[in-house]
Structure formats: structure tokens, C-alpha cells
């Protein structure tokens, strides 16, 4: 099965769904994260206001991580020792890299055969449009976007969050697609009252681009934020999910029945801060777009055996830990306590809760 997680911002998928993502990958199922508002609207990082920098926690591109075939520039060696081979401790020797790359090529081809879309990739391992074939560069495979890595190294807050999201995707063995729409703080929202209030009338939900990307991925299940906490970007993504539920089924090939595909997840840490327990905890009118013949029913995902992996994944978002949790230790405690709180409501030990759409 293929699963698509719609994340309003870098870190939302890891925070809210990290346990389920780990479970799905352990079962060998495909996971793609669509990070929607990952852009700055073209402004330089030095031009950020104090509020924008605080709200952030300090080109579209997709990555399909495959074992060793990724850029190691942001990952330190576990054992930085010189074994006399002349090869850096974190880099593979050529014969080892070739063997790994052969496995990666086979895995990639199987992925593309299941998918109906592409992102500047060649399953035949040939360069496209004059680009350098990175597999020919010793010790390198698919790489981070150079300008993003360079910007992050100089303190660009938006680029830093992008790199953290990429590192999480590598850790989680998930694909990731950045839509690079500008964050709400770059769309004119000022202060928490506006950021956690109603979306402006001229601020449309990203329905067209999200629908297109989701359709290309052909998922059996797609997860949208429920909008707990009422952040405008989360609300707009929720609106796209509700809008899909209202679409008539297309009989071309045939089209998906969204009522059997769309699921909503509870936004952490907002759900933890507010003690969210039922749909009644959402603001009035939050689900007005839900079609009258569609219901939402809770489903609990047991993440007891993946809880610590979820915590390690969230810890990769270093720029967010102090702002959201006052440090990594308190983050780990909050994740464990929230999983226990939600699990107790589903008669499970540790869990995440999802709200599945269905037509009775």
C-alpha cells in the first residue's frame, strides 16, 4: 500500500504521525510526506521580522532515500577512525557503493513502476537535460539541494527547517515532496491572534496543487491534519481534505473514492496542550465542509513498539525543540505522555488516533 501524509510544515508529519509512519515502513509499505508550506515567498532570511523568526522556530523537489545513496554532509561518522584505506569513515568504498547502488536502482525501478509520476528522475540511470549523473560521483548518491544546504549552513531559518525535514525522511525511509508554498508568516499573518484565527478571505486553500500531487502518487490512504490548535496553515490543509470528500467519484481509470481514502490526524503538540479527546474539541464550524453523507470515525494506531523511534525522529528537528518543548528531554516526555493518554482512550498502551472518513 501507498500512504501520503500531508504536512502543513516541516516537522508536522513526524510530530503527529511518526509512530504510524515507522510502523508502516516496518511492514514494507510506501510512505510519502507532502510538506506544503515550506517556502519563504522569496524573501531573504535577513529580512525576517522578529515574529516571523520566532514563529518559524528560529522550487519543488522530491527525495527517495535508499540506504547509502544519499548525501552524508549533515551526518557525522559514528566512529571517526582512520582504517588506513584512505576513505573517509562515513563514505563507502567504490565496490561497496556499487553493490548498494545496484540494490538502490532495483528498488527505485520497482517504486517507479508503482507510481504514475516523476520528479527529474531517470529509472534508466541516465542523466537528464544535461544534468550531472550523481551516481558517477564517488561516494555520492542522491543529494540534498546544494543551495538549500548552503543556506542552512549560514543560518537561513526556512532552509534549516527544509534540511531537518529531509533528514527525517532519510531516517524514516520515506519519500518527501516539498511544495514550497510560503508559510503563513510570509502571507501577511501577524501575531498569534491572526496565525491561530480564521484564514483570510483572500488566502485560498492549496486545493489544486495538493489534489494533483496526491492523484499522481495514487495512495490507498491520504492523511490530512485535523486542525487541532487552529493554525491557519493546518486549517487550509484540512479544507483540502474536506473538499476531496465532496468530490464525485471519477470513472476515468477509475478515479478514487475519497471517502475510502481520506483520513485526518490529530495535530501534536496542539492536541497535547489542549487535551484533545473528540471532534467536539474543534472550533465551531471546523468541519462544516464535511459532506452530509460522510462520517468520521476514530481509529487508534498502536505505536508501543515504535514510540522511541518516533521520539528519535522528532529530535531531528533541532530548531523546534526549544520553542515547542523547552528542550529534547521535555519533548520525549510529552510524546510518551500523549501516546499514553491517547492509548488509554482506545484501550491500548501507547497510540496515535486517526479519524477515518467513510460513507455508511
Q: The domain spanning residue 258 has which CATH number?
A: 3.40.50.10320
Q: How far is CA 334 from the centre of its chain?
A: 20
Whether 277 is in a domain gets the answer yes
pLDDT of 311 > 60? The answer is yes
> What's the domain range around 268?
2-65+142-358
Residue 117 counted as domain residue:
no
What's the confidence (pLDDT) of residue 112?
A: 57
Lowest mean pLDDT among 90-99, 147-156, 320-329: 147-156
Tell whether the model's pLDDT for residue 140 goes beyond 90. no
- Give the pLDDT band (50/70/90) at residue 139: very low
Report pLDDT for 163. 87
| Residue of 132, 143, 161, 359 whose CA lies nearest to 260 | 359
| pLDDT recorded at residue 152 | 53
Q: What is the pTM of this model?
A: 0.72
Q: How many CB atoms are located within 10 Å of the residue 254 CB? A: 8
- Asked if residue 77 belongs to a domain, the reply is no
What pLDDT is stored for residue 231 in this prediction?
95
Q: What is the pLDDT of residue 123?
A: 42
261: left (phi over 0), alpha (psi -120 to 50) or beta: alpha
Residue 120 lies inside a defined structural domain of this protein: no
Asked, for residue 94, whether it belongs to a domain, the answer is: no
Amino acid at each position: 500500500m501507498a500512504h501520503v501524509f500531508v504536512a502543513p510544515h516541516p516537522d508536522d508529519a513526524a510530530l503527529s504521525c511518526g509512530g504510524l509512519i515507522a510502523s508502516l515502513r516496518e511492514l514494507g509499505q510506501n510512505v510519502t510526506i507532502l510538506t506544503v508550506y515550506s517556502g519563504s515567498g522569496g524573501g531573504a532570511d535577513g529580512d525576517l521580522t522578529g515574529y516571523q523568526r520566532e514563529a518559524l522556530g528560529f522550487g519543488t523537489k522530491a527525495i527517495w532515500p535508499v540506504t547509502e545513496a544519499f548525501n552524508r554532509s549533515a551526518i557525522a561518522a559514528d566512529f571517526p577512525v582512520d582504517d588506513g584505506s584512505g576513505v573517509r569513515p562515513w563514505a563507502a568504498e567504490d565496490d561497496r557503493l556499487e553493490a548498494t547502488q545496484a540494490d538502490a536502482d532495483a528498488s527505485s525501478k520497482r517504486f517507479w513502476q508503482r507510481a504514475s509520476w516523476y520528479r527529474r528522475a531517470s529509472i534508466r540511470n541516465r542523466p537528464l537535460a544535461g544534468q550531472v549523473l550523481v551516481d558517477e560521483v564517488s561516494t555520492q548518491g542522491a543529494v540534498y539541494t546544494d543551495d538549500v544546504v548552503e543556506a542552512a549552513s549560514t543560518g537561513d531559518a526556512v532552509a534549516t527547517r527544509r534540511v531537518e525535514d529531509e533528514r527525517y525522511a532519510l531516517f524514516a525511509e520515506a519519500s518527501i515532496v516539498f511544495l514550497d508554498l510560503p508559510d503563513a508568516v510570509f502571507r501577511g499573518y501577524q501575531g498569534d491572534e491572526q496565525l491561530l484565527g480564521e484564514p483570510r478571505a483572500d488566502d485560498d486553500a492549496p486545493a489544486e496543487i495538493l489534489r494533483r500531487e496526491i492523484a499522481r502518487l495514487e495512495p490507498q490512504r491520504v492523511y490530512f491534519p485535523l486542525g487541532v490548535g487552529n493554525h491557519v496553515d493546518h486549517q487550509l490543509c484540512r479544507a483540502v481534505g474536506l473538499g476531496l470528500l465532496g468530490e464525485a467519484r471519477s470513472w476515468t481509470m477509475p478515479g478514487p473514492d475519497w471517502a475510502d481514502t481520506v483520513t485526518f490526524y490529530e495535530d501534536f503538540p496542539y492536541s497535547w496542550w489542549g487535551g484533545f479527546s473528540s471532534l467536539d474539541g474543534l472550533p465551531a464550524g471546523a468541519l462544516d465542509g464535511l459532506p452530509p453523507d460522510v462520517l468520521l470515525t476514530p481509529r487508534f494506531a498502536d505505536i508501543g513498539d515504535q514510540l522511541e523511534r518516533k521520539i528519535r525522529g522528532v529530535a531531528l528537528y533541532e530548531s523546534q525543540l526549544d520553542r515547542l518543548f523547552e528542550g529534547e528531554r521535555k519533548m520525549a516526555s510529552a510524546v510518551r505522555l500523549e501516546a499514553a493518554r491517547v492509548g488509554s482512550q482506545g484501550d491500548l498502551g501507547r497510540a496515535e488516533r486517526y479519524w477515518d472518513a467513510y460513507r455508511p
